Amino acid sequence: MIIVHGTFPIKSEIREEAIEAMKKMAGCSRSEIGCLTYEFYVGLSNPNTILLFQEWESVEALERHWETSHMGDFLEQLPHLLAGEVATRRYEVRLGDESMERVESEIQVSSNGSQQDKIVH
């Protein structure tokens, strides 16, 4: 399983526009084959920071996601909505054949960078 976490600082004066764009993106993404979870959340400490949480069945499913028209549309809108840099991290979770208790202690997590000028997965 692939997990992606992102942080989006959005402009306060167009907050509602940004949230609508993210709602549309989440809805379209959830219908993709291989998408397990795709949600945006408003940060409690700063309502102009939006958090993204995604779960994908595989790297291939995530790569197909990057090729969709709704991803292209979202990436085109994003610079207009942002008040700073987007930070993303991608994690790969591998579960072995052993018991769940043991597997939980051996989850392999690898970071794919944190801060970029653009979204990078």
Q: What is the CATH number of the domain that holds 63?
A: 3.30.70.100
Within-domain flag for 98: no
User: Nearest 10 degrees: CA dihedral of 69, 49, 40, 120?
Assistant: 50
Within-domain flag for 95: no
Say what percent of the chain tops pLDDT 90. Answer: 75
Number of folded domains that form the chain:
1
The 3 state secondary structure assigned to the chain is CEEEEEEEEECHHHHHHHHHHHHHHHHHHHCCCCEEEEEEEECCCCCCEEEEEEEECCHHHHHHHHCCHHHHHHHHHHHHHECCCCEEEEEECCCCCCCHHHHHHCCCCCCCCCECCCCCC
Grouping H, G, I as helix, E, B as strand and the rest as coil, residue 40 is strand
Asked if the model's pLDDT at residue 121 lies above 60, the reply is no
Q: What is the pTM of this model?
A: 0.74
Q: Average pLDDT over the chain, rounded to whole?
A: 81
Which range of residues forms the domain containing residue 44?
12-48+59-83
